């Protein structure tokens, strides 16, 4: 049995392409692998607080020294990390905003990328991820195309950032399905969604 953590990050509801696609994938997955479990978190509608000074103080001090304020500041981080570590696979729906990720997803990342919980700094000053043997699927929704070798590729700070930050904590097996060209006319949009759905079928069969 596999535990999947499914996260949506779009603030849109029914009009969200990334939500539609992740829902389709999870529905097909559960129809194929009924014994697997899915934990769902909606970051688009249930916002995560950003890191603040009490959070930083709690992170860089021992739990035994925490005041009630510091314990409260780190509580949501602990919950999110425990949930993240309990999953073997991740399915994230992430629209591209200003060439990168939505701010609510960045707030989530800041809560779970935490020293001594999901990574450590070794004696040489290097980073060692503590989250290993996991697989991640990221389904994006993009107005244009940022394929490598095209002029717009230089503006893609979404996929490189996600690969880098989750790679830092040890998640390196990351697959992307880009639903792109969504603002480039009906034909381009339809073709892109067809391509994304075919890639999703392959994921369900082979992931």
pLDDT, tens only, 112-141: 999 999 999 998 989 999 999 999 999 999
pLDDT attached to residue 48: 95
Q: What is the DSSP letter of 188?
A: H
pLDDT attached to residue 149: 87
The CATH number for 8-50+88-206, chosen from 3.40.50.620, 3.40.190.10, 3.40.50.360, 3.40.50.1950, is 3.40.50.360
- How many beta carbons lie within 10 A of that of residue 133, not counting itself? 8
Domain boundaries, the chain: 8-50+88-206
Q: How far apart are CA 6 and CA 61, in angstroms?
A: 31
- How many beta carbons lie within 10 A of that of residue 171, not counting itself? 21
Residue with tokens 């990050």: 9
Taking CA atoms, 82 is separated from 66, 79, 112, 178, in Å, by: 19, 5, 9, 28
| Ramachandran angles phi, psi of 93, nearest 5° | -100, 120
For residues 147 and 184, the answer to whether their CB atoms sit within 8 Å is no
pTM listed for this prediction: 0.95
136: left (phi over 0), alpha (psi -120 to 50) or beta: beta
pLDDT attached to residue 96: 98
Task: Give the pLDDT band of residue 12 (cuts 50, 70, 90).
Answer: very high
pLDDT attached to residue 150: 85
* Ordered alpha helix ranges (H), the chain: 17-32, 53-59, 68-86, 103-112, 158-168, 186-206
Taking CA atoms, 4 is separated from 16, 125, 158, in Å, by: 21, 32, 22
pLDDT, tens only, 45-61: 999 999 999 999 999 99
pLDDT, tens only, 153-194: 999 999 999 999 999 999 999 999 999 999 999 999 999 999
Rounded to the nearest 5 degrees, what angle is found at the Cα of 4, between the Cα atoms of 86 and 119? Answer: 45
């Amino acid at each position: 049995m596999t535990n999947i953590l499914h996260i949506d990050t779009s603030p849109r509801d029914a009009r969200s392409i990334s939500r539609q696609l992740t829902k389709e994938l999870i529905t097909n997955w559960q129809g194929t692998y009924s014994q697997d479990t899915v934990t769902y978190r909606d970051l688009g509608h249930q916002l995560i607080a950003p890191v603040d000074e009490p959070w930083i103080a709690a992170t860089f001090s021992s739990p035994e020294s925490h005041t009630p304020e510091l314990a409260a500041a780190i509580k949501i981080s602990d919950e999110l990390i425990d949930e993240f570590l309990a999953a073997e696979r991740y399915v994230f729906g992430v629209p591209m905003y200003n060439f990168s990720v939505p701010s609510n997803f960045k707030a989530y990342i800041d809560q779970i990328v935490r020293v001594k919980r999901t990574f450590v700094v070794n004696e040489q000053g290097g980073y060692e991820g503590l989250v290993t043997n996991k697989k991640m699927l990221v389904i994006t929704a993009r107005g244009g195309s940022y394929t490598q070798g095209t002029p717009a590729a230089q503006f893609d700070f979404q996929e490189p950032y996600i690969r880098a930050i989750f790679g830092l904590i040890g998640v390196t097996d990351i697959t992307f399905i880009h639903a792109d060209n969504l603002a480039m006319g009906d034909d381009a949009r339809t073709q892109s969604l067809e391509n994304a759905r075919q890639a999703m079928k392959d994921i369900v069969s082979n992931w």
